[in-house]
């Protein structure tokens, strides 16, 4: 698979097969992704791989917090406080397409809640990845982590694996840090699910649209 095919095939997978991924495979993916670019070669990322009981503890703890009304408190906001165009419409269209693919009606609050909680269980993928950054670093290092994420997702495809990058896993960073024994000196950026995709699941078949090049590019001679 060449890089162009990998970029176009990559998608966020939300139903995974009950099929283990070996530690050797995960290490091979990370061994390739570590060559991602970073400003000044800082390589600012810290990655924690969770499986089995540790992954279960994270999901249970976050869901328990939500059930008693604990508010989300990410280390840094992922989305704007107030939505505006064209981003508001894009986000709405994405949400509608997602719930339609799962046949969840807009008024079905119970199924919508269950679908959202599956985020915190890494969609039952066998492997979860958590991405941290030293709080003393600046915005540029967040861009570097983004390049690591893309490198991991594309490399995973070459191993026949699927992924889903998840900002939702950073909703309760204190809980996550406690579950994986990471110091508060590190900010939780996001998480990622990794495993074998259930290719028959409807939610794994839908694709979101992308703006055409002419919509986001201008040329200056």
Write down the H helix ranges in the chain. Answer: 3-9, 23-33, 52-67, 87-101, 109-120, 139-158, 173-180, 213-216
Report the pLDDT value the prediction gives residue 56, as an integer from 0 to 100: 97
Report the pLDDT value the prediction gives residue 219, as an integer from 0 to 100: 97
Query: Residues 128, 188: contact at Cβ < 8 Å?
Result: no
Reduce the DSSP state of residue 5 to 3 states and report it: helix
Task: Judge whether residue 1 has pLDDT over 90.
Answer: no
Candidates 6, 39, 29, 24; CA nearest to 192 is 29
100 or 157: which leads in pLDDT: 157
Q: What percent of the chain has pLDDT over 70?
A: 100
Q: What is the mean pLDDT of residues 125-136?
A: 98
Candidates 161, 146, 149; CA nearest to 1 is 161
Report the pLDDT value the prediction gives residue 117, as an integer from 0 to 100: 92
Task: Report pLDDT digits (tens) over 19-55.
Answer: 999 999 999 999 999 999 999 999 999 999 999 999 9
DSSP state of 48: E
Task: Report pLDDT digits (tens) over 79-89.
Answer: 999 999 999 99
DSSP state of 81: S
Query: Residues 150, 16: contact at Cβ < 8 Å?
Result: no
Cα 217 from Cα 214, distance rounded (Å): 5
Contacts of 161 by beta carbon, 8 Å cutoff, 6+ apart = 21, 25, 29, 194, 195, 196, 197
Q: Which domains does the chain have, with CATH numbers?
A: 3-208 (3.40.109.10)
């Amino acid at each position: 698979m060449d890089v162009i095919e990998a970029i176009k095939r990559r998608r966020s997978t939300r139903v995974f097969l009950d099929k283990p991924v070996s530690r050797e495979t995960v290490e091979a993916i990370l061994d390739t992704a570590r060559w991602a670019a970073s400003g000044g070669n800082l390589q600012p990322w810290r990655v924690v791989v969770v499986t089995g009981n540790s992954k279960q503890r994270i999901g249970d703890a976050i869901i328990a917090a939500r059930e008693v009304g604990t508010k989300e408190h990410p280390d840094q906001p992922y989305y704007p406080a107030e939505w505006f165009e064209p981003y508001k419409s894009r986000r709405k269209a994405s949400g509608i397409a997602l719930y339609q693919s799962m046949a969840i009606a807009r008024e079905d609050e119970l199924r919508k809640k269950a679908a959202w909680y599956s985020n915190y269980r890494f969609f039952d993928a066998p492997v979860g990845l958590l991405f941290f950054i030293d709080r003393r670093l600046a915005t540029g290092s967040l861009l570097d982590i983004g390049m690591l994420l893309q490198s991991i997702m594309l490399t995973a495809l070459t191993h026949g694996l699927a992924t889903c990058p998840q900002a939702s896993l950073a909703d309760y960073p204190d809980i996550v840090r406690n579950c994986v024994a990471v110091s508060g000196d590190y900010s939780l950026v996001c998480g990622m699910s990794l495993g074998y995709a259930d290719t028959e699941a409807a939610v794994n078949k839908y694709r979101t649209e992308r703006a055409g090049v002419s919509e986001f590019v201008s040329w200056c001679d």
